[in-house]
Amino acid sequence: MIPILVTSGKGGTGKTTVSVNLAMNLAERGIKVSLLDADLLAPNTHLFLDVNKERLREAGKMLIPLKVGEHLEFMGLGVFIPKGVGVALNYEKTADFITTLLKFVKWSGDYLIIDAPPAAIDVNVKLFKELRGRARAVVVGEPHPFAIEDNLRILDLLKFFDIEVRALVLNKYNMYQEELAKQVMAEYEAHAKKYGFRVVKIPWEPRLQTQTVPELFDELAEAVVG
């Protein structure tokens, strides 16, 4: 099983949207996919999936992921926290929670897509360490100068932990000034050469706010599994 970390330099850039749609896209190709919501800041991945949180089952000491259709399974932090309940977990507990889900869920996918917390915070660093040398990454950003600054830091960190970046998603690229988007694209392309990843554009698409539209993610899927 190959872990695919979906991460970003800052929050709210589209990690959850990308994670769920990428997972659906791969599953529709008949690839077995596992999806882990590891973003304790906003564990909301399950909202896009038809999962029944009451049906948690275990086998031996392993937790069975929730089935979402024929080729997709899911587990995430949101499954354990009832709606409307605030949780105050410190860094250690959060990081342990994520590591536990990585190790003690009976994943059966060929790929494990991880919807990660944003930015170079301590929880992420623990996750990068855990996945050192064996994961691929997708970095999600919007075409804005702030995003470049933040994403370059994440790219550097991923390199340090020997995590292979496969794609940088330029999300909602058509929502920004055309000139700005072009400028950002050019800067990312220069880094893409250096790091060896693809820059994949995803448009602002209102349907993505309420449902999955996997067909928009073909290019990303090919960059990730090839």
Ligand X SMILES: Nc1ncnc2c1ncn2[C@@H]1O[C@H](COP(=O)(O)OP(=O)(O)O)[C@@H](O)[C@H]1O
d(CA 175, CA 187): 18
DSSP 8-class letter at 67: E
Q: Which is nearer to ligand X, 105 or 139 (CB)?
A: 139
Tokens 């089952």 belong to which residue? 57
CB of 186 to Mg ion, least distance (A): 28
Stretch near ligand X under the rule CB under 6 A, chosen from 49-57, 99-107, 144-152, 198-206:
198-206
Q: Indicate which of ligand X, Mg ion, none lies near residue 196 (CB less than 5 to 8 Å, by partner kind).
A: none
Do residues 15 and 116 touch, judged by C-beta distance below 8 A? yes
CB of 139 to ligand X, least distance (A): 11
What tokens appear for 147 in the block?
A: 């995003």
Q: Which is nearer to Mg ion, 106 or 206 (CB)?
A: 206
Residues that bind Mg ion (CB under 5 A): 15-16, 39, 42
d(CA 127, CA 35): 15
Q: Indicate which of Mg ion, ligand X, none lies near residue 141 (CB less than 5 to 8 Å, by partner kind).
A: none
Q: Which is nearer to ligand X, 63 or 184 (CB)?
A: 184
Task: Give kind and range of the element (H or E) at residue 26.
Answer: helix 15-28
Q: Which is nearer to ligand X, 28 or 142 (CB)?
A: 142
Q: Which is nearer to ligand X, 8 or 63 (CB)?
A: 8
76 binds ligand X (CB under 6 A): no
d(CA 204, CA 88): 34
DSSP 8-class letter at 117: P
Q: Indicate which of Mg ion, ligand X, none lies near residue 211 (CB less than 5 to 8 Å, by partner kind).
A: none
104 binds ligand X (CB under 6 A): no
Backbone conformation region of residue 162, classed left if phi is above 0, alpha if psi is from -120 to 50, else beta = left
Tokens 């959060």 belong to which residue? 94
13 binds ligand X (CB under 6 A): yes
Tokens 């409307």 belong to which residue? 84
Other residues' Cβ atoms within 10 Å of the Cβ of residue 132? 12
Do residues 24 and 222 touch, judged by C-beta distance below 8 A? no
208 binds ligand X (CB under 6 A): yes
Site for ligand X in 132-171 (CB under 6 A): 171
Site for ligand X in 15-44 (CB under 6 A): 15-17, 42
202 binds ligand X (CB under 6 A): yes
Q: Where along the sequence are the contacts to ligand X (CB under 6 A)? A: 8, 11-17, 42, 171-172, 202, 204-206, 208-209
